[in-house]
Amino acid sequence: MSVEKMPVKMFEDDRQASAAVARRIAAVIRERASQGRTAVLGLATGHTPINVYRELIRLHQQEGLSFANVVTFNLDEYWPIRHDAMQSYHRWMNENLFNHIDIPAANVHLPSGEVAEHDVLEHCRQYDKAVRDAGGIDIQVLGVGRSGHIGFNEPGSSRDSRTRPIRLDHITRSDAASDFFGEENVPELALTMGVGTILEAREICLLAFGEHKAPVLRRAVEGDVSAQVSASFLQEHPNATIYVDEAAGGELTRMATPWLLGPCCWDDRLKAQAVIWLAKKCNKPILRLTDEDYNENGLGEIGAHGKAYEMNLSMFRRLMNTITGWPAGKPGGPRRRVLILSPHPDDDVICMAGTMIRMCLNHDVHTAYMVSGYLSVFDHNVLRYADMVKEFNRIFGLGAEQAKAVEKHIVAVETHIDKFLGSKKACDQDTPEIQEIKGLIRRAEATDAAKFCGVPAKNVHFLDMPFYNTGQVAKLPLAPRDVEVIRELLERVQPDIVFAAGDMSDPHGTHRQCLEAAMTALTQYEAAGNPKPELWLYRGAWQEWPPEQIDMAVPLSPMETHRKRMAIFRHESQKDRAMFPGPDKREFWQRAEDRNAATAKLYDKLGLPEYQAIEAFAKWPVTRSANAMGNLTAE
Ligand code: F6R
C-alpha cells in the first residue's frame, strides 16, 4: 500500500539524486539531438539544483555533452533587480551553469528583473509566448520552497496561473534573507512562470534536499491537491517525478511510520522507532504499553499476543543504555584525546557545551573551527573593535619605532573601514580586509568560549577552510585543500574520539560541506595507517536527532545548563540577533536550551529518569533500518 500520489525516488544523499537528474537531462538532450531537434529545458535556481548543474558541467567537459542545441527557460527572477546584482538569478545562472557550457547566449531565457513597471505584464506574456514558440518545455527542473511554492508560485497560486509578477511569501523572504544580508533587503516581488506554464512541461523533476524540506514534501506528495501547496499540483501531471535525499523524505509515511502501510522488515532500529512512536501516541511511558496498545495501533506484528512486555523491556533498556554522564569515559579510566570539529565558531558550544565541559574534567579536549564565520558579523562590530584597537594603542603605547609602523597600519585599516563601511550598501560584499577583521572577532569569541568550557588555549584550532571564503553566502565546491587542513590536524592531534556536526539542513549548506570534508579527511587519515577514532555526530542548531537515532544522551544538571548558556553568550557578535537567524526568531542559546530541555522531557515521558536537559549524539556510521534502506532508489 502507498499513500504517495506521485512517484518519489529517494537517494542516500543529494549528490546521487542530483546525478540522477543530470543524467535524465543529458538523456533528453541526446535524444533530441539524435532527432535533429533542440531540447528545451526549464531551469531552477537556489541551493537545491546546484549539484545538478555541476554534474551537467562535468558531463559537458568530460563526456562531450553539448548544449549547442539546447534552449533554456528559467522559472523566475526577483523584481526589480539588476542582472548583475549578486542575488540576481541571471548572474547565478551564468556563474553556476551558462559560463561553463557551450550554450549560445540567444538560447537562454530568464524573466527580467530590469524590466520597467509598466512593461512587466507584457514582458510576462511574451515569456509564455517564447516558451510556446520554442515548442514547449521538454524537461523542467524544480525545487520546492518551504511555503510549498514551485517557481515563486506562493500559496494561493491557481492551477492555471501563467507567468506573472507575484508578491513573495514571508517564509520565502525569510529563507532568502541570508542571500540579501537581511530580510528587509529581500525584494517584495518576483516574476515567476505560473503553475499552468510549469505543468505544460512534458517531464518534470522536482528536487528536495534536507530535513527542512521534509514537512512540505509530505504535504505535496501525500496531501490533497491544493493551491496552498503549489507543488501538490504535480500530482496531476502525467510525468512528474520527485527526487529526494533521505532527509527530505524523512516525513513520508513510508519512512516515518511504515508499519501503517503494511508488513515491515523489522530490525532493532525500526522497532525502536515504532515503540517510541507508540508511547508518544498513547501518551504512556514505554514500560506501561500493553498488548492492546500495540494491536490497536498497527503494531501487532511486534508487540501484541503477550510480546509487549519483552518488547517494552528491551526498548527501555536500549534507551537507558544511551545515558551517560561521562561521554569520553569515567575518571580513573584512560585519558583520551578528543577532537571536536565545529563548522562555525559557535556550533560546538551551541550543540555540545555541556558535553565539552564534562569531557574537559578528565580528558584532553581539542576544538577546531572549520570556517571563519566572518559572514555573520555585523559591520558595527568591526567599528567597535577598530576603536578599541586605536585606544589600546594610544594608552599602552609601543616602542617609538614599532608604534610608528603599527600606527601606519592601523590608520590605513581605519581609513579603509570608515571609507568602505561609510558607503557600504546593504547587499555589498565585504572587502578582504573587513572579512579578515570579522573573522578575527569570531576567533577571539570562539577561543574565549572554548576556554570557558575548559579547553586549553593551545588546543583551540582554526582551520579557515577555503571553500567558505567567497565573500558571499554561496560557497565554492570543496577542494583538496579543504580536506587537507582537517587531515593535517588529525595527524597532529591523533584523536581517540572525534565529534562532528552531522546535519544536512543548515540554510547555507556549510555544515554539509564541512561534514563531507571531515569524512574524506578521516578516510585518508585511516588509510595512512592511523588508528580509527570513534566518531560521534551532533546535530547543528536547527534540529535534534530523532530519538531512535540517539546513541548517546548526556544529561546536564541545572548548573551545567546555565554554564552552557554562559558559554554561548561568549559569542557576543551573535547575541541579541544573529545575522542569519533563519525562520526561527529565537536566539541560539534559547534554541539550544529549548532543544536540550525537549530531549530531557521526551526521555522523562518515555519513562526514563527526569533531567533538566540532555545533549544527544549519534554514533557513526548512523545505522538505518533495513526498511529505510529498502526505500532507496538504485540507479
Ligand atoms: C528558484 C525557484 C524556487 C526554489 C525554491 C527552493 O528558481 O523557483 O522555487 O526552487 O525556493 O529554494 P532552495 O533550493 O534554495 O531551497
For 299, residues 6+ apart whose C-beta sits below 8 A from its C-beta are 259, 274, 278, 293
With the C-alpha atoms ordered 440, 442, 445, 450, is the resulting torsion angle positive or negative? negative
Report the candidate in 199, 249, 246, 198 with the shortest Cα–Cα distance to residue 221. 249
Mutate to test the pocket of ligand 1, among 72, 81, 87, 144 (most ligand atoms within 8 A of CB): 144
For 631, residues 6+ apart whose C-beta sits below 8 A from its C-beta are 10, 246, 249, 254, 255
Mutate to test the pocket of ligand 1, among 18, 41, 45 (most ligand atoms within 8 A of CB): 45
From the first residue on, what is the mean pLDDT of each consecutive set of 10 residues in the chain (635 residues)? 95 93 98 96 95 97 97 98 94 95 98 98 98 98 96 97 96 86 90 98 96 94 98 98 94 96 92 97 98 94 87 97 97 96 96 98 98 87 81 70 62 69 71 86 97 98 92 80 98 98 74 93 97 94 87 97 97 78 78 96 98 97 86 85
214 Cα: distance to centroid of ligand 1 (angstroms): 15
Atom number, ligand 1, closest to the C-alpha of residue 213: 16
* 76 CB within 6 A, ligand 1: yes
Please report which residue ranges of 35-169 form alpha helices under DSSP H: 50-63, 89-96, 120-133
243 Cα: distance to centroid of ligand 1 (angstroms): 14
* Residue nearest atom 10 of ligand 1, based on CA coordinates: 143
Peptide bond between residue 80 and the one before it cis (omega within 30 degrees of 0): yes
Please report which residue ranges of 134-213 form alpha helices under DSSP H: 170-176, 195-199
List the beta bridge partners of residue 536: 499, 619
143 Cα: distance to centroid of ligand 1 (angstroms): 5
User: Cβ–Cβ contacts within 10 Å for residue 223, how many?
Assistant: 17
> Whole-model pTM above 0.95?
no
pLDDT for 376 equals 84
75 Cα: distance to centroid of ligand 1 (angstroms): 9
pLDDT for 582 equals 64
* 75 CB within 6 A, ligand 1: yes
* 508 CB within 6 A, ligand 1: no
488 is catalytic: no
Peptide bond between residue 533 and the one before it cis (omega within 30 degrees of 0): no
